[in-house]
Structure 1
Amino acid sequence: MRCPNCYSENPSDNLYCNKCATPLPQIVDEVYVAPTRTLETPIPEIDTGTTYAGRYQVIEELGRGGMGTVFKVIDTEINEKVALKIIRPEIAADKRTIERFQNEIKLARMISHKNVCRMYHFSKEEDTYYIVMEYVQGESLKSMIRMTKQLSLGTAVNIAKQVCEGLSEAHRLGVVHRDLKPQNIMIDQDGNARIMDFGIARSLKAKGITGPGVMVGTPDYMSPEQVEGKEADQRSDIYSLGIILYEMATGKVPFDGDTSLSIMVKHKNEIPQNPRKINTQIPDTLSRLILKCLDKKKEKRYQNVEELHEELNVIEKKFPTREAKVSKRKPITTREITVKFNLKKLLLPALVVIAVIVIGMVGFKYASVKAGAVPLEDMVSVAVISFENQTGENSYDYLQEAIPNLLITSLEQSRYLRVTTWERMHDLLKQLGKEDVEVINSDLGFEICRMEGINAIVLGSYIKADEMFATNVQVLDVETKELLKSASSRGEGVGSILRNQIDELSKEISRGFGLSERKIRANSSQIAEATTLSMEAYNYFLRGRDDYEKFYFADSLRFLERAVELDPEFVMAHYYTALVKGALGDRAGWQEAFDKFKKYMKKLTGKEGLYAEAIYARLEGKDDKKYFKILEDIEKKYPKEKRVHFDLALYYQNHKMNDEAVEKYNKALELDPKYGYAINQLAYLYSYQNDFDKALEYFKRYASISPGDANPYDSMGELYFRMGKLEESKAKFTEALELKPDFDSAWKVAYIFALEENYEGAMRWVDQYISIVPSDAMKSIGYQFKGFYQHILGNLEQSLKTIDKAEELARSLGDNHLIDVVLRMKLWIYYEWGKTEFLRDSIKARMDFRTKNNISSEKLNTMLSDFYYGVLDLKEGRIKSAKSRLAAMKPLLSDLKSEEDKDMKSSYDYLYSMVLLAEGSVDEAVAVYKKRPSFPMSFRSHVSFIRRNVPFDADFYAQAFQEKGEINKAIAEYEKLMTFNSEATEDRPLFHPLGRFRLAKLYEEKGQYTKAIEQYEKALEVWKNADKGLKTVEEAQRRLAALKSR
């Protein structure tokens, strides 16, 4: 056998190299490896967020060991978290290994005990074998020892007892663990010890699968008989448990060495030091028990774990009650995986992953904080600045921002601390004229803190050695720069930042301010609960949130979807995903993401928890009063939180309380004069009040502080549209698209071209919109606009095909609201072109769809059905039938839900006015139509632009005058409709060719032939490529020809 170190040949039965004493390949961590393998195949790379073996959605990698790689996954068939261990291909290289695994999994599955992690099954995906196990959320015993150096004796004994209980069940079934070690013992969130990895256990009855002379185990915890390659039995597990107990009580293992061989030799030959010499608090009884477990001769050890458990029980009773059990605790890390880590690489005292927070309070009267509601002036003020990346790797630069954000979130949970948000720190940078600074160093941090009146600052850095990340934080008095507290934490991999480091550092910082353990516990929960266990997911979340705030919804969605793929329970990522999908018009996607937000929102605490409650009250409970009350509570607790002032301003604005809204917007802008959201919204408020000069001033200010962003120019485009300055409006929308080609502006340019009756331009821009928009929901809206313009052009057949595309996309999304909007549009197009035979089928299709999918209440749908069939009756001349449908609608109006009332009141009044007009009761018809609720166009709703134009009913008053024989008034009304009104309004319907056609007929009736010809020509210019057989178009053509031939 060739030595892997010096490459010299050795006899096949040697355990060590004859030349250099290197252990030969039969000696492995955790599992036997076939000595005849000739090729080591790497473990296949499995990306988080993907699905393995058709059912396991990968959440994160938990760690790597000698046996393989372990992942936390969701078993999608049962919707439960499990652990998935991918076996190294070289381990399963021959039949004997596969046979052994299959046999051992069968044995391990027999063990069912609260202190044993369940093994589920051993299977194969393509050429890769894997084991599915119970997922235990908690921290490994090894991790606990590393953090505390040594456990309290009561805790150590209690854990040992629980391990005994789990081993007792396994040994009863004839299963020996053979690799018991702290890494393989998890302490779950209820304080229970759980033994992991019975995957290399073997039955006492199933000998012969592995040969003699093969060592299995981990050197630090290996029994003498395992070192010699002899058969292991239950007493071998007792030896390993003795070492674990030794380590828990003293903080170190009894035997160490530079090589695995030197450690194993000590197991075989050296007597362990009495643990009392390391920890004098260990009683003689416990010391003797440990040393008996570690006897070289297994005949002199405890012969079974029941005997050991009994003695541990006697010893435990002598400890104080408070030390007699493991306290329940939230998990600090999901699983501790053993890695090779050279602490000599961490020569700096600051082994850092994080620079924490700044805490301040005049005089630092930390210990005097009383329980109950804490006045703001008595709270400790805290700020966190950027962390220093000492890893030497630029790929970890994102942690300079991510770690402070996480620490802020963690510390905000305490009602005794007033934490300066990361956003507020950057607001202060803007006030210093340093908004381009990305990394806040200590000098700048102190300057910001002095300006804001913060009394303490936390500095920090992070470093990496192999797979180990380490962090150090220092909390300093801002005024004196006196060191108030220093703390450090470390863990395996960058994921340990979320698994344990943030929580540990937050607690240490709180202790530094004199908070009692009770107060710390009362106001702390794991950062991973409020955020995520995946740093990669958190990084994607931050990037997605930043893009959302720029209104770059497609870019934002890509980052956020990646975040929730990596962590399906990342609550705030689900919330922002819902916001983005809503902005992209994906209602079904919005609902799905919002449902997930609701499912996990209880994980949020502190400020984010309050925001979650407010969001839920508004969107799910439809409780505006509760929403407002929670916002007021947030404002009181976090008076320098600009976001809450902004949200309150929006609330006031939506409730027409404009003075209050202006006050709150200005409060947000006092905190951050360059708060783009507030500047933009305040400009809109002035725009709606027709104070265009002030609105434009604020929009320009918004653009100046957001160079390169598209939204300020899109906002100005909307303002110019309201002002009636269409060329300026088009120019600004175009500027927005030059900055961000997929920004939501192209449909607005298309509408302006249509308003100018340049339908070729409109079609060109709507095609561009369809080609660039980033979601199928928006493409569906694009096809609705295209179908709408084709309808105006008289291309009825093509219009319906295009609308079918819109419907197809909506159905593919499962968006019932969007489908319903398309069905509405289709029936009104049939109505407008007099296709009553298709209109009837279209009404039925829409109403059947609404009923089947429970869209709106049953009463509203009953009314809506009567309304549509009433309109159809009038179209076909059945006034009496239309009146009966109107009579059926009336009693239902009072029973509608509040959000349904306006819509159906408008429909009822429309049908009523049309019935009165048909009966010749013109004045009554006009009176009813005037009080009909209207739905003006708004850029906040694409659909409102189509709804305002289809059906074309803007000429109702003109038709009423015509019915009364007041032709001149009817002409005047049409002339007003067909003339561009530059007065301020966002409600600008198109100059419909039907209106021009009807005006031309009135001119003709009055003998104003030149004007009639002009209007016919304008209408027919739009209809120049209209479908054959459209009666209105053909009538216009005949009338124009007759006039021209006079």
Structure 2
Amino acid sequence: MEGAPRKGPLPRAEVMRHAVHMADALKEDQPGGASSDIYNFGCALYEMLTGRPVTGARRRVEPPALESFLTKCLHPDPAARYQSVAELHQALAKLQKGRNIRLEYVFISIAVVTLALGLVLLMMEFPSRQRFTDKDVLVMADFTNTTRDPIFDKALRTALTMQLQQSPFLKVMDDGKVRQHLARMARPLDSRITAAIAHDICEREGQRAMLGGAIADLGNAFEVTVQVLSCRTGATLARQQVRAESNRDQVLGAISKAASGMRAVLGEPRSSLEKWDRPLEQAATASLAAMQAYSFGVERRSLGSELASVSFFERAVELDPNFVNAHLSLFSAYNNLSDDNRATESLKKAFALIDRASEYERLQIRALYERDVTRDLSKALAAAQLLVRSYPRSGAAHYVLGSIYESLGQNEQALREYQAAVENPAYTAPLIAAYMRLNRFAEAHEAAKTSVDPNVHRNLLRLAYLQGDATAAAKEMQWFTGKPEEHLSLIEQFENARAHGDNQKAVALAGQAAALARQHNLQGVADELLADAAKMRGR
């Protein structure tokens, strides 16, 4: 009957088929992926001995020495397995001394491991193939979710990105950059990033590798797989496989372990891992529901819906008040929506939780707090410079440093940092503003290109006013019409009317902007606009 377990051990031909399959799998992997291959080896050996695949409730094998060997191979924690093929080979050799073990399986197993060991040693002669450099960027695909539980769909990709961001060594392509490619490929900006799409983007960028993941429900546990594939050949460059208990929140811990293993496999120095590798439960959240809400907010922001992101970030901190990343994202969102009071409130909350942040977020929070709350720009500058030295590949790091140079009036230095930051399109708006401050208007227009970021279009409206271009100004006003962030356009129109002494028009525009802000629960923005209008009426 098809699909039924076999009775008795596998035929010799089938055993050798497993051996060849394992050798091929190991040939594709890099040496750092030995833990996953040892698990697969244990699965194959168990099936050879019993005629059944490994399940959560597998039966024990005899004698006890062989059961102990298998238990270590199949341990859900990769760190508890044999850590190298050489160690595995030694353990198998010891099994030969046991009297009750069927020698044919031991001999076959030793032959397989010897072949695998030879392949590993061969690959170790060419270490340059497996090491990533500070020029490599990983293109991440969405997770393959076979659990039918939608909570994993967005949350795991965000969690893995967040965990890998702690590394100053690895760089994952920013969502904004991915969406730029989707636009060029004539795909909807909210398209699911399948492996095929990630591969296309990887080739367009001339990058070396793509990153993907999968989650499966094994009944009594969830299995998380993370792997890096060659964009050129499709071969597996690294793979980590971790099991989590059936409690869904435990999956975040599995993501942390998989990410840590992946960083080591891809060549990150041990000293870096020891310094910059906090588990998600300590550096972000232990709540999968909070991570899901946060991931929706991140997605909304990358699609240009700043206002829509706020409710998701607020939901994340409602589910986990200690979720420091969500507080930091609320600060950014409110700041971009011109709600200064709420932005400051969110930043203060993030600062109060700074000990729960990863080093990457901690340095950002400290620099921003000194900039906006204490207003000690010398301390802010020192913190931001340390941030850039620690994470030179981070667009956020260069943005923070640029913003502090801007506060100090050092516009050329600010421009240089914004130019470094704009590899992440999320920082296009401050780059445009930096060009404008230096009267480099043509470059400001060139930097804008096609963008869905409301703050980019707000700066383009401001640029149109500076250049006296009524046609361009009308185009930007039209872009905002009907969008949730339309109050930003009206604020710019209000500021322009006030600058030209047209108080009557300015007061009317302030009223319109305040009404829209109030509709979207931005009461602080509305109050400030109405206060400005009242002062103008009193003149």
SS in 2 for 1:743: helix
Partner of 2:321: 568
Partner of 1:682: 431
Partner of 1:782: 529
Structure 1's 276 and 599: CA in aligned 2 closer, same or farther, altered over 3 A?
same
Query: How far off is 1:747 after superposition?
Result: 4.3
Structure 1's 449 and 629: CA in aligned 2 closer, same or farther, altered over 3 A?
farther
**Is contact 2:208-2:232 (8 Å) kept?**
yes
Partner of 1:429: 181
**Is contact 2:337-2:485 (8 Å) kept?**
no
Query: How far off is 1:489 after superposition?
Result: 2.0
Of 493, 504, 514, 2:257 maps to 504
Partner of 2:171: 419
Query: How far off is 1:635 after superposition?
Result: 3.8
For 2:537 and 2:141, locate their aligned partners in 1 and report how far apart those are by CA, in whole Å: 57
Partner of 1:611: 364
Report Cα offsets for 1:747-789 as digits up to 9, x if no partner. Answer: 4445666778877655544333232213221221232144234
Query: How far off is 1:724 after superposition?
Result: 4.9
Partner of 1:532: 285
Partner of 1:706: 451
Partner of 2:146: 390
For 1:580 and 1:511, locate their aligned partners in 2 and report how far apart those are by CA, in whole Å: 34
Report Cα offsets for 1:320-353 as digits up to 9, x if no partner. Answer: xxxxxxxxxxxxxxxxxxxxxxxxxxxxxxxxxx
Query: How far off is 1:541 after superposition?
Result: 2.2
For 2:345 and 2:180, locate their aligned partners in 1 and report how far apart those are by CA, in whole Å: 37
| 1:716 corresponds to 2:460 | yes
Report Cα offsets for 1:603-636 as digits up to 9, x if no partner. Answer: 2224333323433443456443454444444445
**Is contact 2:364-2:400 (8 Å) kept?**
no
Partner of 1:767: 511
Query: How far off is 1:424 after superposition?
Result: 7.6
**Is contact 2:224-2:255 (8 Å) kept?**
no
**Is contact 1:472-1:486 (8 Å) kept?**
yes
Structure 1's 594 and 517: CA in aligned 2 closer, same or farther, altered over 3 A?
closer
Query: How far off is 1:568 after superposition?
Result: 0.4
Structure 1's 730 and 785: CA in aligned 2 closer, same or farther, altered over 3 A?
farther
For 2:333 and 2:294, locate their aligned partners in 1 and report how far apart those are by CA, in whole Å: 12
Partner of 1:852: none
Query: How far off is 1:532 after superposition?
Result: 1.1
Partner of 1:330: none
For 1:411 and 1:564, locate their aligned partners in 2 and report how far apart those are by CA, in whole Å: 22
| 1:738 corresponds to 2:482 | yes
SS in 2 for 1:487: strand
More off after superposition, 732-741 vs 521-530:
732-741
Of 442, 460, 471, 2:213 maps to 460
**Is contact 2:240-2:258 (8 Å) kept?**
no
Partner of 1:642: 395
Give unmatched runs, 5+ long, in structure 1: 1-147, 149-250, 257-272, 282-360, 370-375, 793-1046
SS in 1 for 2:161: helix
Structure 1's 383 and 527: CA in aligned 2 closer, same or farther, altered over 3 A?
farther
Partner of 1:492: 246
Aligned CA RMSD, in angstroms, stands at 4.6
SS in 2 for 1:745: helix
For 1:425 and 1:723, locate their aligned partners in 2 and report how far apart those are by CA, in whole Å: 30
Supply the AA of the counterpart residue of 1:419: K
For 1:464 and 1:791, locate their aligned partners in 2 and report how far apart those are by CA, in whole Å: 67
Query: How far off is 1:455 after superposition?
Result: 5.0
Query: How far off is 1:403 after superposition?
Result: 2.0
For 2:192 and 2:183, locate their aligned partners in 1 and report how far apart those are by CA, in whole Å: 16
What are the within-5 Å matches in structure 2 for residues 96-175 of structure 1?
Answer: none
Partner of 1:440: 193
Report Cα offsets for 1:816-874 as digits up to 9, x if no partner. Answer: xxxxxxxxxxxxxxxxxxxxxxxxxxxxxxxxxxxxxxxxxxxxxxxxxxxxxxxxxxx
For 1:747 and 1:380, locate their aligned partners in 2 and report how far apart those are by CA, in whole Å: 41
Structure 1's 362 and 628: CA in aligned 2 closer, same or farther, altered over 3 A?
farther
SS in 1 for 2:163: helix
SS in 2 for 1:706: coil
Supply the AA of the counterpart residue of 2:427: Y
For 2:314 and 2:432, locate their aligned partners in 1 and report how far apart those are by CA, in whole Å: 32
Partner of 2:32: none
Partner of 1:557: 310
Supply the AA of the counterpart residue of 2:144: E
SS in 1 for 2:147: coil
Supply the AA of the counterpart residue of 1:556: S
Structure 1's 598 and 366: CA in aligned 2 closer, same or farther, altered over 3 A?
farther
SS in 1 for 2:213: strand
TM-score by length of 2: 0.63
**Is contact 1:463-1:471 (8 Å) kept?**
yes
| 1:473 corresponds to 2:226 | yes
For 1:425 and 1:412, locate their aligned partners in 2 and report how far apart those are by CA, in whole Å: 16
For 2:183 and 2:305, locate their aligned partners in 1 and report how far apart those are by CA, in whole Å: 26
For 1:448 and 1:710, locate their aligned partners in 2 and report how far apart those are by CA, in whole Å: 25
For 1:534 and 1:384, locate their aligned partners in 2 and report how far apart those are by CA, in whole Å: 23
Structure 1's 524 and 460: CA in aligned 2 closer, same or farther, altered over 3 A?
same
**Is contact 2:380-2:404 (8 Å) kept?**
no
Partner of 1:543: 296
For 2:268 and 2:534, locate their aligned partners in 1 and report how far apart those are by CA, in whole Å: 66
**Is contact 2:215-2:224 (8 Å) kept?**
yes
Structure 1's 382 and 602: CA in aligned 2 closer, same or farther, altered over 3 A?
farther
What are the within-5 Å matches in structure 2 for residues 981-1000 of structure 1?
Answer: none
**Is contact 2:159-2:291 (8 Å) kept?**
no
Query: How far off is 1:597 after superposition?
Result: 1.0
Query: How far off is 1:668 after superposition?
Result: 4.0
For 2:498 and 2:176, locate their aligned partners in 1 and report how far apart those are by CA, in whole Å: 45
Structure 1's 513 and 603: CA in aligned 2 closer, same or farther, altered over 3 A?
same
**Is contact 1:385-1:442 (8 Å) kept?**
yes
Query: How far off is 1:565 after superposition?
Result: 0.4
What are the within-5 Å matches in structure 2 for residues 376-387 of structure 1?
Answer: 377=133, 384-387=140-143
Query: How far off is 1:723 after superposition?
Result: 3.9
Supply the AA of the counterpart residue of 1:426: V
What are the within-5 Å matches in structure 2 for residues 178-327 of structure 1?
Answer: none
SS in 2 for 1:569: coil
For 1:693 and 1:454, locate their aligned partners in 2 and report how far apart those are by CA, in whole Å: 31
What are the within-5 Å matches in structure 2 for residues 8-19 of structure 1?
Answer: none
**Is contact 2:285-2:320 (8 Å) kept?**
yes
**Is contact 2:411-2:437 (8 Å) kept?**
no
SS in 1 for 2:528: helix
For 2:267 and 2:433, locate their aligned partners in 1 and report how far apart those are by CA, in whole Å: 48
For 1:456 and 1:755, locate their aligned partners in 2 and report how far apart those are by CA, in whole Å: 52
| 1:404 corresponds to 2:157 | yes
More relative contact order, 1 or 2 (CA 8 Å, 6+ apart) = 2
SS in 1 for 2:285: coil
SS in 1 for 2:216: strand
Partner of 2:83: none
**Is contact 1:564-1:574 (8 Å) kept?**
yes
**Is contact 1:449-1:457 (8 Å) kept?**
yes
Structure 1's 590 and 711: CA in aligned 2 closer, same or farther, altered over 3 A?
closer
For 1:362 and 1:427, locate their aligned partners in 2 and report how far apart those are by CA, in whole Å: 39
Supply the AA of the counterpart residue of 1:775: L
How many equivalent residue pairs?
427
Higher helix share: 2
